[in-house]
């Protein structure tokens, strides 16, 4: 098919060359012939592009999501089966689809390990690593958080991370260095659909989900507010001003334990938590007796009392080993994070 198109393309080129160079052709005739040749060529180009696009999306739809639960996360993305976000319906249709899928699967009666919930997360929420060349707009930066994690874990290769608050998947990412330089895999969590599209556009080599972590031990649906400086946050106040209504969106929030079960793993080498004020409630929702988390960095700048973080994590068997408070002017990159390490690793 493609060879035929190429041969026809060569014929058109010869025809155009003849028309343009022939000294005996009248100017008007040459213009008419050239227009016809270009029109036919354009139609063929659009037809081939349409076939390619339809074949690509048909391939996406034919993949069977059920087999996703049977594979290990270390396998290549194109060996796994799932419908990637590039083949999904527009956002409004997507939200209606998810509303149908999640009917009866939010609220306190749903266990974080409910089989139906895990199946829905696998089939309708988690996106696979992108099997394409990465598209970054700036040099990869090792953030102070990533540097500290790498030091603690002795520059471990092929670890697994979870980054909650992924933003666009590049700017101020605490995991991009580990992924690109130390061959880590992981899960990016971002609740804002506009930022999540950017995450997917970066072609990160890890799983991702357009959702948020639940501050409860069960799945819930919450509202979040976009921020003009790029920091969306969950809305806990029921009073929303009229001028902010257009900034309010709904998001499904899942327990971290549910997401890990959907990925068939319970070990996390590094957990980065940056959710603009909901860090402590989310930490309290995590079953640390069921999830093996080695190192955490937790943003605290929105918290009321920093000591609460250390006290809670100490009771869970973790020690605060460092407090990061920095601003890198050249990168416009700042952070206020605690670094926690499981005590048996010290």
Cα gap 248→189, rounded to integer Å: 19
CA distances from 3 to 6, 13, 48 (A): 5, 15, 12
Q: Is the pTM here over 0.85, yes or no?
A: no
Sheet arrangement for strand 233-234: 212-213, 248-254, 220-225, 233-234
pLDDT tens for each residue of the chain, 346 residues long = 444 444 444 544 444 444 445 554 444 555 565 566 556 565 655 554 544 444 443 333 333 333 343 333 333 333 333 334 444 456 778 888 999 999 999 999 999 999 999 999 999 999 999 988 888 988 898 999 999 999 999 999 999 999 999 999 998 899 999 999 999 999 999 999 989 999 999 999 999 999 999 999 999 999 877 655 555 555 555 555 666 655 667 899 999 999 999 999 999 999 999 998 899 999 999 999 999 999 999 999 766 688 999 999 999 999 999 999 999 887 788 889 999 999 999 9
Cα gap 304→290, rounded to integer Å: 28
The phi, psi pair for 25, rounded to 5°, reads -80, 135
* H-type alpha helices, the chain: 2-21, 27-62, 91-101, 115-124, 144-152, 176-182, 193-201, 256-262, 279-284, 306-315
Cα gap 222→237, rounded to integer Å: 11
């Amino acid at each position: 098919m493609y060879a035929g198109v190429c041969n026809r393309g060569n014929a058109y080129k010869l025809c155009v060359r003849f028309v343009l160079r022939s000294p005996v052709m009248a100017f008007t005739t040459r213009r008419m012939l050239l227009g016809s040749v270009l029109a036919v060529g354009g139609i063929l180009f659009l037809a081939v592009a349409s076939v390619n696009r339809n074949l690509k999306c048909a391939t996406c739809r034919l993949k069977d999501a059920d087999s996703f639960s049977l594979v290990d996360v270390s396998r290549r993305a194109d060996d796994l089966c799932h419908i990637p976000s590039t083949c999904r319906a527009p956002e409004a249709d997507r939200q209606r689809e998810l509303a149908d899928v999640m009917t009866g699967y939010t609220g306190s009666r749903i266990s974080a390990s409910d089989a139906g919930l895990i199946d829905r997360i696998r089939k309708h929420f988690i996106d696979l690593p992108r099997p394409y060349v990465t598209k970054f707009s700036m040099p990869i930066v090792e953030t102070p958080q990533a540097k500290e994690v790498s030091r603690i874990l002795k520059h471990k290769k092929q670890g697994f991370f979870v980054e909650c608050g992924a933003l666009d998947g590049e700017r101020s990412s605490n995991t991009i260095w580990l992924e690109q330089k130390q061959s880590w895999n992981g899960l990016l969590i971002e609740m804002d659909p506009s930022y999540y599209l950017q995450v997917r556009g970066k072609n990160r080599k890890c799983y991702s989900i357009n959702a948020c972590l639940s501050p409860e031990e069960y799945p819930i649906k919450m509202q979040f507010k976009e921020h003009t400086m790029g920091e969306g946050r969950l809305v806990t106040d029921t009073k929303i001003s009229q001028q902010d209504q257009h900034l309010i969106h709904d998001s499904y929030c899942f327990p971290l334990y549910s997401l890990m079960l959907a990925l068939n793993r319970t070990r996390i080498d590094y957990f980065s938590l940056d959710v603009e004020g909901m860090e402590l409630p989310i930490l309290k929702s995590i079953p640390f007796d069921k999830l093996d988390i080695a190192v955490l960095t937790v943003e605290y700048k929105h918290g009321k009392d920093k000591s609460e973080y250390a006290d809670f994590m100490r009771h869970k068997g973790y020690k605060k080993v460092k407090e990061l408070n920095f601003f890198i002017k050249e990168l416009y990159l700042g952070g206020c994070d605690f670094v926690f390490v499981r005590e048996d690793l010290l």
